[in-house]
Structures are given as structure tokens and as C-alpha cells.
Structure 1
């Protein structure tokens, strides 16, 4: 259908919105094609040898101070052993490391002047001087350990 010549000519729509924008032509190029040969990574990688540092050695913690026994121990003659056997054992102790000067007449431990007291002093002196090296309080079964000061 055509419009009669007397009809008013309507303006094209671009008149309402302003002149048309210039047309922009955008060329889209395809992405670049991958290279024909891509080297694959090697099957095994040789790495430099690992360097191991020596371990850090810390000194051991200080050992707790060893407390002396809460009680003292003495080596004394058994009161049930006959005197001749006690005398023999005391002579052994005095000749093998006991300090028996104190139980001699006028010595600081001569009193009480009894074989049992003197043997107990000699046995204890010997044991105190030799126990660290393995000395015992036995004297052929004539001695025993006690925790009461004789």
C-alpha cells in the first residue's frame, strides 16, 4: 500500500533518537591454532640429590639432684654372734680398710668399752669406706644393717 501524496510523511525513527550511529565493523578472528608439535614433559625428572642436614642434638635435661637417703644406715655387729667370731670379724675389718684408731684405748669412740660396740664401729667404718666399690656389710654373717644410730 502506498500513501497518498497528500499524507504527511512520517520521519524515520532515527529522527526521534538522533542521527544513526556510524556502523562499526568488528572482525572476529578465530583463536590461534595450537602449535603442530608440543613437546610432552619428560617421563621422569632428575632432581638434584637431597641434602640432609645433621639432626639437631639437644643436651639431655639436667638430672634431678639425687637426694641422700632420708635416713642413715649403719653396719653393726649382730648381738647374737659369739665373741670369738665377732673378734675374728673385727680383726678382719680393721686390717682391710676400717679406721680403727678411734676404738683404741683413749680413742674418741673407745667408750663404751665392749667387744660388740668396738666391732660395730669397725664394721661400719669398713662398710662406709668400701660400699661404693662393692663392699658389703656381712663379715661372714656377723653383721647387719640398721637405721638406728648405734
Structure 2
């Protein structure tokens, strides 16, 4: 019985998929980031959290809002290949942004 429990615990710990995020690339100008943000929010991203007084509004920068929008779009599209490109302004990451507030939930999978 003990070996079976140990095996089940091991499988539970190793059997989950790793988190995947879509983030806007560093070095991209604010105008391109804003275009990407607008596209994502208008085509499937849930951008309510980055509206004023939203849980992810701060930090209030184009880059941070772009990160949230493209990630929401990417997750809502089921992480389909190509859904995190946005003409080269974004790319897939194994890590979320480092400066998100504790009030902000950053989804890492479809159906969050």
C-alpha cells in the first residue's frame, strides 16, 4: 500500500504541465506595444483587469498592460502556435512578469 501511495504522489507532482505565458518583448516601442494591446483587447483578450481600478491596472504602463492583454489573448486561444507573435512584438515565456501586484491573477493556461 505504501509503495502505491508513493507512486501516486510522485506522479501527481511530476504529471502537471508547466506554466506558459505570452509577454510583450523588451525593446519594442510604446506605439507598437499599444497597437498590439489594442489588437489583443479587441480580438479575444479579457482586458477588464487592466482598466482603471482593475486588479492589474498597476503598474500603469503600456508594456505592463500589453503583457496582460497578449497573455489573456494567448490563453483564450488555447495557447495555439502563432497566437503569441503579434508581428514580432510578443513571445512565449515560461515565467510571468516579475512586477505584477499581488492583487493581479496572471493566467498560465487556457480556461483560467
Fold match by TM threshold 0.5: yes
- 1:63-106 superposed Cα distances (whole Å, 9 cap, x missing partner): xxxx331x211100012111101100110000000000100110
Alignment RMSD, CA only?
Answer: 1.8
State TM-score, norm by structure 1. 0.52
Answer yes or no: is the 8 Å Cα contact 2:74–2:80 preserved in 1.
Answer: no
Gaps spanning 5+ residues in structure 1: where? Answer: 1-66
The structure where helix makes up a greater share of residues is 2
Q: Give the paired residue count.
A: 84
Q: Secondary structure at the match of 1:93?
A: helix
2:100 maps to none
2:59 maps to 112
State TM-score, norm by structure 2. 0.69
1:38 maps to none
Q: Secondary structure at the match of 1:125?
A: helix
Gaps spanning 5+ residues in structure 2: where? Answer: 1-14, 98-112
Distance 1:114 1:132, change over 3 A: closer
Per-residue deviation, 1:131:
2.6
1:85 maps to 32
Would you identify which runs of 4 or more consecutive aligned residues in structure 1 move more than 3 Å? Answer: 132-135
Per-residue deviation, 1:109:
0.4
Relative contact order (C-alpha < 8 Å, sep 6+): which is higher?
Answer: 2
User: Mapping of 1:1-150 within 5 angstroms?
Assistant: 67-69=15-17, 71-131=18-78, 136-150=83-97
